[in-house]
Chain A
Amino acid sequence: MLLEFELNGKQTRIEADPTLRALDLLRDVLGLTGTKEGCGHGECGACTILVDGKPVNSCLLYAAKLQGRRVTTIEGLTVADDTADGAEDGTEDGAEDCGSPWDPPPLHPLQEAFLCEGAVQCGFCTPGMILSAKALLDQNPDPEEREIEEALSGNLCRCTGYRKIVKAVQKAAAELRSRGSR
């Protein structure tokens, strides 16, 4: 089947088996390995991608369902949003330099916040977690804690205990709101 869809802001055309999992299409065919497989059953959220801005488990999604859609993976985060900014901005905002140890590529405020708040440990759940958070903030720029936890309820993390993840989302939300108001 010829699949045509928007992937991370770019029109993509590719011949693929329609019953291939979207997860495998991304990882094996398109070489985008940022999306992870944690369980294969839609029970852990590590494979979360955004389709038309909505979070779905790519391990349950047949590639055919991507036809004509707008797909966002973690690799596209800095491209999908024009609120992405360079590392320099991070140092202006807080009193303490988060200490990003080398010049990173332009990071989305969610990525920056996850990094600075210690919300990343092993990092395996992180791409899915960030995308679920992005879907939330795109709809709801000022979420309550209850709304954050609901939005991330489909993303398991075994390393962090989640507290810093919640803080990171709150921090990113504040940053995005302040940019929006400039």
Chain B
Amino acid sequence: MKLEKLNVVGRAVAKVDGVELVTGRAKFAGDLRFPGMLYAVARRAGIPAGKIRSIDTSAALALPGIKAVLTAEDIPGANIIGILPPFDQPLLAAEEVRYEGESLALVVAESREAAKRGAAAVWIDIEPWEPVLEVDEALAEGCRKIHPGGNVTFSKRLVKGDVEKGFAEAEVVVENTYHTSFQEHAYLEPETVAAVPGGDGRITVYASCQSPFHIRGHIAANLDLPASRVKVIQAYTGGSFGGKDDVATEIGCLAAAAALKVQAPVMIAHERGESIVGSNLRHAARIHYRTGSRRDGTILAREATIHLDGGAYASESPFVTMKALIHAGGPYHVANVQVECTAVYTNKTYCGAFRGFGVPQVTFASESQIDELAAELGMDPLELRRKNALRAGQANATDQVFEQSVGLVQTIDRVAERAAEPGAGAPEAERNAGRWLYGRGCACMLQGISNGAEGIDVVGASVQASQDGSVLVGVGLTDMGQGSRTVFAQIAAEVLGVTMDRVTVHQVDTDSVHDSGPTVASRSTTVGGMAVYKAAREVRSSLVKMASLMIKCEEQQVLLQDNFAVLAPDARRAADPEVRIPLREVCTAAYWTGFPLMNLTFSRAPDANFDHETHQGNIYIAYNFGTHLMDVRIDRLTGVVEVLRHLAAHDLGKAINPMGVEGQVEGGALIGFGMAHLERIEHRGGCIQNANFADYAVPSIKDRLPTETIIVEDPNPTGPYGAKGVGEPPVAGTAAAFANAVAAATGIRFTSLPIRREDLLEALQGRNGGAAAEVGS
């Protein structure tokens, strides 16, 4: 893509769907109303493990307002959901309970209240089993099998070079074991769907979701219908972050099954508590890590053994396993890397996709290691990272070489430069004499963009110009707030030379474009944007051909800009007046001349190509690289942390919408901060104790970070205008930088996330030999 002057791409523009959001007019799934609509609520197990002996729905059916109660036998098709093999999760359980949120029956009623009462009245008889709660317990010989194939969900290795040789040569080795906890997505809109049977044998499902094609496929399989009879429309979605990847599928299927049974529209809207218990979480991880280097800081070997607690069902565990594996080595040029990652079943709420997808967990471990190594070597932590940072032309942990778009060192430079400027929090040793402990931490990271090893990477898009010169864009990827709809509009506007107010991006509708897979892995701009670009280019060529006929010039002399077709300035003689034709006239003429004004395209990113035993090969089409720096101060008497400064530099190829980029960085950073400092799902006996927003501490506005986004653009040849995604990377960078800042401030290496106020106080007081020692001195 040549570097041309861009009109719309690269500018901060307001979201194209912003007006309906700020006025409250946007219809989220729960805002939809259909005549005769009923409500459905699931009856959940309430205990983490057991044999289902019987389910008696008669009492529920007898209650007023109850229309139907579905159990497993009412599911016409497979009664299975799951992202990947093993498709091990029932829609409605009939045999076994594997976690407390397991759905056993679905009650359909005239109102939500009646449905809730009905759900409570379903009589379930479960023979409780001792739940398997810990990874080591699940892996132990003789442990009860949660699934027939055993308790290992998925296990893979990455082998590059020879780590034993590398460690043998190493002059310094650091080793440690790290833990991260379960994290909840906490999107403000709980999972919601509405299924509407049509009179034409089709069923339409409106869903708060990010994977409408998954929903379609699963409804077809579970209802024993051809997929072509199922239409899924993505409603405005109040946040997802990976959480609605499989849960929307689950309730989409349930609502559709109910709707067909009662022949009426059915809505399922989760309440907050059931959203936390009944939908997937971020995998908790245990990472044993070793890093070896020479005295001069050259890292020679890195070895990690990762266990992921994936809960009751596989969900995305296989992919999270692979992604953790691939990223554990960090954004460094290391000859010898060996990683083994195993996801394990336990009788807890299952784990799946959550913004970052394994990368935040391993980045925390990896970057803690780097700081520990820096301390051993007596080197500056940022300099140690710079020394080993991947550069273009070097092989990463999967032995993939990128000749372009490896902007890591630029992110390090920009952060170092900015951090050296006077700011809020440069820590000085003397300041630690008082109540506050000051510290600075940094982290470098990488995040593969799009599907990588996870399978085929395709997106469908459509671009249609009407005779009046307005443009309609459709894409198979969903906007859940990250602003993809706006990016797609910008790309179409740029290519076609129309102003943004003439572009409409319609809702995602599985009828309208090619199956585009899920909106995950920070792929919407890179792969989705590329599809829009291609479709728009096709339409552009019709317009240019028509305009060239109207202007009587060569096609390459036609420019499209600001809703006009213009003869390029260098094509006309100085004395000639400017020649320009309104695009609406060009479009009308093109239609009547027979040039196609719509293009439906399918953009396929290059396939991954790698050895499945060693994970060596070309896996990702691009990587986002980042460097974070955080200055904190910690109250030694209460454990309260104040973040004084947070720099987040990311190489994202090209910022199509800089304001959107900042929003992604600021938002992702706060999720990473939550993971590192505030949020922890508390289980007891396999049951979540804090399934509410009072006891699960999602950051409030008073907990916000002073994040400063630094945009680095090292263009990516596989993305539109050089772009690559940025949605997920800030999560990992922030969490890792925070942990390092805390270590610097306290002199204590915390190897477990979250590092909460109480963890800080206990560690600080423990170090001083007793609680009262600090007080009053």
A residues near B (Cβ < 8 Å) are: 27, 31-41, 43-44, 46, 73-75, 77-78, 96, 98-105, 107, 111-112, 114-118, 120-127, 130, 149-150, 152-153, 155-166
Contacts and interface: CB of A to CB of B under 8 A. Distances in A.
Interface in B687-741: 692-694, 698, 700-702, 704-707
Please list the 3 inter-chain residue pairs (A to B) with the smallest Cβ-Cβ separation, ordered nearest first: A34-B24, A122-B481, A123-B21
B27 A33 contact: yes
Nearest to A116: B14
B666 A164 contact: yes
Contact of B188 (A120, A156, A161): A156
B501 A102 contact: yes
Nearest to B269: A37
A75 B24 contact: yes
A121 B667 contact: yes
B15 to A, nearest CB: 6
Nearest to A104: B19
Contacts of B272: 38-41, 44
A163 to B, nearest CB: 5
A162 B27 contact: no
A164 to B, nearest CB: 6
B120 interface: no
A55 to B, nearest CB: 14
Contacts of A37: 30, 190
A153 B700 contact: yes
Interface stretch (B167-175, B284-292, B385-393, B657-665): B657-665
A150 B96 CA distance: 48
A7 to B, nearest CB: 14
B439 to A, nearest CB: 22
A133 to B, nearest CB: 11
B22 A159 contact: no
Interface of B: 11-28, 30-31, 33, 185-190, 236-239, 241, 271-272, 480-483, 489, 500-501, 503, 659-660, 662-663, 666-671, 692-694, 698, 700-702, 704-707
Contacts, number: 195
Contacts of B26: 123
A164 B708 CA distance: 12
Nearest to B500: A101
Contacts of B241: 158
Contact of B480 (A39, A101, A122): A122
Contacts of B25: 34
B761 to A, nearest CB: 23
A74 B23 contact: yes
B22 A149 contact: no
A101 B12 contact: no
Contacts of B22: 107, 111-112, 114-115, 120, 123, 126, 130
Contact of A159 (B27, B501, B667): B667
B31 A33 contact: yes
B24 A162 contact: no
B239 A124 contact: yes
B238 A124 contact: yes
Nearest to B26: A123
Chain A CB within 10 A, most for which of B15, B185, B706: B15
Contact of B14 (A44, A101, A165): A101
B187 A122 contact: yes
B188 A157 contact: yes
Given A39-B272, A112-B22, 20 more contacts: A33-B31, A36-B28, A36-B30, A36-B238, A41-B692, A43-B693, A44-B188, A99-B11, A100-B14, A100-B18, A101-B489, A115-B14, A118-B662, A123-B20, A124-B28, A125-B238, A156-B698, A161-B666, A162-B666, A165-B701
Contacts of B692: 39, 41, 43
Nearest to B709: A163
Given A122-B480, A161-B707, A165-B701, A107 B23 contact: yes
Contact of B12 (A103, A118, A160): A118
Nearest to B16: A101
A163 B707 contact: yes
Interface hub of A44, A152, A163 (most chain B Cβ within 10 A): A163
Given A41-B272, A122-B481, A74 B24 contact: yes
B700 A156 contact: yes
Contacts of A104: 19, 23
Given A125-B188, A157-B188, A163-B666, A120 B239 contact: no
A126 B21 contact: yes
Contacts of A112: 22
B19 A44 contact: no
Contact of B704 (A27, A118, A162): A162
B635 to A, nearest CB: 18
Nearest to A131: B24
21 contacts: A31-B33, A38-B190, A44-B188, A44-B693, A98-B14, A100-B501, A101-B16, A103-B501, A116-B14, A120-B22, A121-B15, A123-B17, A123-B236, A155-B701, A156-B698, A157-B701, A158-B667, A160-B663, A161-B670, A161-B705, A161-B707
B24 A121 contact: no
Contacts of B670: 161-162
Nearest to B660: A118
A120 B18 contact: yes
B693 A156 contact: yes
B239 A159 contact: yes
A120 B698 CA distance: 18
Contacts of B706: 163
B694 A100 contact: no
A102 B24 CA distance: 17
Nearest to A33: B31
B23 A111 contact: yes
Nearest to B20: A123
A149 B699 CA distance: 12
A165 B21 CA distance: 14
Contact of A99 (B14, B188, B671): B14
Contact of A123 (B190, B481, B662): B481
Given A126-B22, A164-B662, A121 B701 contact: no
A164 B663 contact: yes
Given A115-B19, A118-B12, A46 B188 contact: yes
Nearest to A150: B702
Nearest to A32: B24
Nearest to B239: A122
Contacts of A114: 18, 22
B253 to A, nearest CB: 23
B270 to A, nearest CB: 10
Given A41-B693, A124-B239, A155-B701, A101 B501 contact: yes
B18, B28, B239, B500: which has the most chain A beta carbons within 10 Å? B18
Of listed B11, B24, B702, B707, residue having the most chain A CB within 10 A: B24
Contacts of B186: 156, 158
A107 B25 CA distance: 12
Contacts of B12: 96, 118
Nearest to A132: B701
A107 B237 CA distance: 22
A149 to B, nearest CB: 5
Q: Taking each of B17, B238, B659, B704, which has the highest tally of chain A beta carbons within 10 Å of its own beta carbon?
A: B238
A121 B31 contact: no
A121 B16 contact: no
Contacts of B667: 121, 158-161
A27 to B, nearest CB: 7
Contacts of A157: 188, 701
B208 to A, nearest CB: 9
A126 B551 CA distance: 48
Among A38, A78, A96, A101, the most chain B Cβ lie within 10 Å of the Cβ of A101
B706 to A, nearest CB: 8
Nearest to B240: A122
A99 B700 CA distance: 29
